[in-house]
Amino acid sequence: MVLSDQWIYIKDLKDHIGEHVEIKGWLFNKRSSGKIHFLQIRDGTGFVQGIVEKSVSNETFELADELRIESSLSVKGKVRKDERSPYGYEIDVDGIEIYQIPLEDYPISKKEHGIDFLMNNRHLWLRSQRQFHILHVRNEVIWAVREFYRNNGFILIDTPILTGAIGESAGELFNIEYFDLGKAYLTQTGQLYLEAAAMAFGKVYNLGPTFRAEKSKTRRHLTEFWMNEAEVAYYTSNDNMHLQEELVSYVVGRVLERAGDHLKALERDTKPLEKVQTPFPRISYDEGVRLLQKKGFDIKWGDDIGGDEETAISEEFDRPVMVYNYPRNIKAFYMQPDPQRPEVVLCDDMLAPEGYGEIIGASERINDPDLLIERIKEFNLPAESYDWYIDLRKYGSVPHSGFGMGIERLVAWICKLEHIREAIPFARTIYRIHP
RNA sequence: UCCACCAUAGCUCAACCGGUAGAGCAUCCGGCUGUUAACCGGAGGGUUGUAGGUUCGAGUCCUACUGGUGGAGCCA
pLDDT of residue A4: 54
- How large is the ipTM? 0.90
Q: Which nucleotide is nearest to A406 (CA to C1')?
A: B76
Distance in angstroms (rounded) separating the CA atoms of residues A177 and A160: 16
Closest Cα partner for A314 from A295, A340, A335, A337? A295
Distance A114 CA to B56 C1' (A): 39
Q: How confident is the model at residue A59 (pLDDT cuts 50, 70, 90)?
A: confident
Residue A8 CA, nucleotide B38 C1', distance (Å)? 28
Q: Domains in chain A and their CATH numbers?
A: 10-100 (2.40.50.140), 122-423 (3.30.930.10)
Tell the burial category of A215 from Cβ atoms under 10 Å away from its Cβ (0-12, 13-18, 19+): exposed
What is the distance in angstroms measured between the alpha-carbon CA of A110 and the sugar C1' of B72?
Answer: 36
Confidence at A255, pLDDT banded by 50, 70, 90 = very high
Q: From CA A70, how far away is CA A329, in angstroms rounded?
A: 55
- Ranked by mean pLDDT, which of A84-98, A178-192, A399-413 comes out on top? A399-413
At A105, the amino acid letter reads D
Give pLDDT, residue A231: 98
| CA nearest to A194, candidates A214, A208, A176, A183 | A208
pLDDT averaged over chain A?
92
pLDDT in tens, A74-133: 999 999 988 877 778 999 999 999 999 888 888 888 878 889 899 999 999 999 999 999
DSSP-based three-state secondary structure for A9:
coil
Q: Which nucleotide is nearest to A115 (CA to C1')?
A: B69
Q: Which residue's CA is nearest to the C1' of nucleotide B2?
A: A215
Cβ distance A235 to A243 under 8 Å?
Answer: yes
- Among residues A240, A324, A329, the alpha carbon closest in space to that of A288 is found at A324
The CA-atom distances, in angstroms, between A288 and each of A282, A339, A349, A409 are: 10, 21, 12, 22
The edge-to-edge listing of strands for the beta sheet with A175-177 is A162-163, A183-186, A175-177
Helix ranges (H only) for A350-421 are 369-378, 387-391, 407-415
What's the full length of chain A, in residues? Answer: 435
Average pLDDT over residues A46-72: 89
Closest nucleotide relative to residue A418's CA, C1' based:
B70
- For the cut 80, the answer to whether the pLDDT of residue A165 exceeds it is no
Q: Is A128 helix (H, G, I), strand (E, B) or coil?
A: coil
Taking the CA of residue A118 and the C1' sugar atom of nucleotide B55, their distance in angstroms comes to 40
pLDDT of the residue at A55: 85
**Cβ-based neighbours of A268, under 8 Å, separated by 6 or more:** A414, A415, A416
Question: At A383, is the pLDDT very low, low, confident or very high (cuts 50, 70, 90)?
Answer: confident
**Largest Cα–Cα distance in chain A?**
85
CA A107, C1' B9: Å apart?
Answer: 14
Q: Nearest residue to nucleotide B33 when comparing alpha carbons to its C1'?
A: A35
CB-CB contact of A202 with A140 (8 Å): no
Distances (CA, A) of A100 to A91, A103, A149: 21, 8, 44
pLDDT tens-digit series, residues A288-327: 999 999 998 989 999 999 888 999 999 999 999 999 999 9
What per-residue confidence (pLDDT) applies to A1? 45
Separation between the CA of A429 and the C1’ of B9 (whole angstroms): 30
**C1' (B20) to CA (A6) span, angstroms:** 63
Using the CA of A33, give the nucleotide whose C1' is nearest. B32
Q: What is the nearest nucleotide to A229, using C1' and CA?
A: B76
Within 7 Å of a protein beta carbon, the nucleotides of strand B are 1-2, 10-13, 24-28, 31-39, 67-76
A190 CA to B58 C1' distance (Å): 57
Q: Name the closest nucleotide to A352, judged by C1' and CA.
A: B76
- pLDDT computed for residue A3 by the predictor: 47
pLDDT above 90 coverage of chain A, percent = 75
**Tell me, in Å, how far CA of A31 is from C1' of B42?**
20
At position A338, the amino acid (one-letter code) is: D
* Closest nucleotide to A53, Cα to C1': B33
pLDDT for A56 equals: 87
Q: How distant is C1' of B50 from CA of A432, in Å? A: 21
Q: How far is the CA of A65 from the C1' of B29 (A)?
A: 15
Interatomic CA–C1' length for residue A114 and nucleotide B18, angstroms:
29
Separation between Cα atoms, residue A425 and residue A126, nearest integer Å: 7
SS3 A411: helix
Q: In the predicted model, is pLDDT for residue A168 greater than 70?
A: no
For B68, nearest residue by CA–C1' is A116
Closest nucleotide relative to residue A118's CA, C1' based: B11
Q: Is the pLDDT of residue A399 over 90?
A: yes
Nearest nucleotide relative to A405: CA against C1': B76
Closest listed residue to residue A145, CA positions, set A207, A77, A209: A207
d(CA A408, CA A424): 6
pLDDT at A105: 84
Strand partners, A269: none
Q: A270 with A260: CB under 8 angstroms? A: yes
Nucleotide closest in space to A359 (CA vs C1'): B76
> What is the arithmetic mean of pLDDT over A136-161?
97
Closest alpha carbon to C1' of B40, residue? A33
